[in-house]
Chain A
């Protein structure tokens, strides 16, 4: 158990819909990362937050947005869903934004768009 909690674990929704994925980082970790992993594909970095502020953006679509709240939990919002958005979405956390700290992954949220 990495200490990073993600909900829901599984989600099935229709095209055009909107979903929210939730992440609670490890206790004390200030940085939260979101990744997308499609079937048999590598990890695609979406976005990083540090202590409530956006720190880095990766290949995140405009239909997607995220935020980190004062209690450090984070949410990833996916809207106008398309079939291609079906993937495993990981949240990860690390103690701070200084490199060298290992990042720990949650178990992921499986999103299936039908």
Chain B
């Protein structure tokens, strides 16, 4: 099976850095996605890791370690608009995405 664990909620301060972790147990997957979802809105794509290592995109970076069953999303220079849920998803063997429950990030001034 594929179990994905993310913290339910995190709080950070505007201008700071926050790391959102995603751990998983799976026999195999094709890659790992991160999506951002503001309340009541559609999830939007942030990043995709298929190989181990760090992928950087502006203020957001995502890291994957297949051997450790671990990924994280790093958000720098936090802005109030970054308050949202962040969803980790694994690519399953049947072309499906297996979604984590998401981490609600609260940014405080």
A: residues with CB less than 8 A from B are 2, 41-43, 45, 48, 55-56, 58, 88, 90, 97-100, 102-108
By secondary structure, the A interface counts as loop
Pairwise interchain contact A45-B102, C-beta atoms closer than 8 A: no
- Quick one: CB contact mask for B78-109 with A, threshold 8 Å, 1 for yes? 00000000010001001111011110000000
A56: contacting residue among B43, B45, B94, B101, CB under 8 A: B94
Q: How large is the interface on B (under 10, 10 to 19, 20 to 34, 35 or more residues)?
A: 20 to 34
Residues of B within 8 A of A108 (CB): 41-42
Closest to A45 in B: B96
Kindly state whether residue B58 has any CB partner on chain A within 8 Å: no
In angstroms, Cα B99 to Cα A98, docked, is 18
Q: How far is the CB of B27 from chain A (nearest CB, A)?
A: 15
The total number of A-B Cβ pairs within 8 Å is: 49
Pairwise interchain contact B91-A42, C-beta atoms closer than 8 A: no
B: residues with CB less than 8 A from A are 30-31, 33, 40-45, 48, 50, 87, 91, 94-97, 99-102
Can you list 21 contacts pairing A with B, beta carbon distance less than 8 Å? Answer: A42-B87, A42-B101, A42-B102, A43-B43, A43-B87, A45-B96, A45-B97, A48-B95, A56-B95, A56-B96, A90-B43, A97-B95, A99-B91, A100-B30, A100-B31, A100-B91, A102-B33, A102-B48, A105-B44, A106-B42, A108-B41
Q: How far is the CB of A10 from chain B (nearest CB, A)?
A: 11
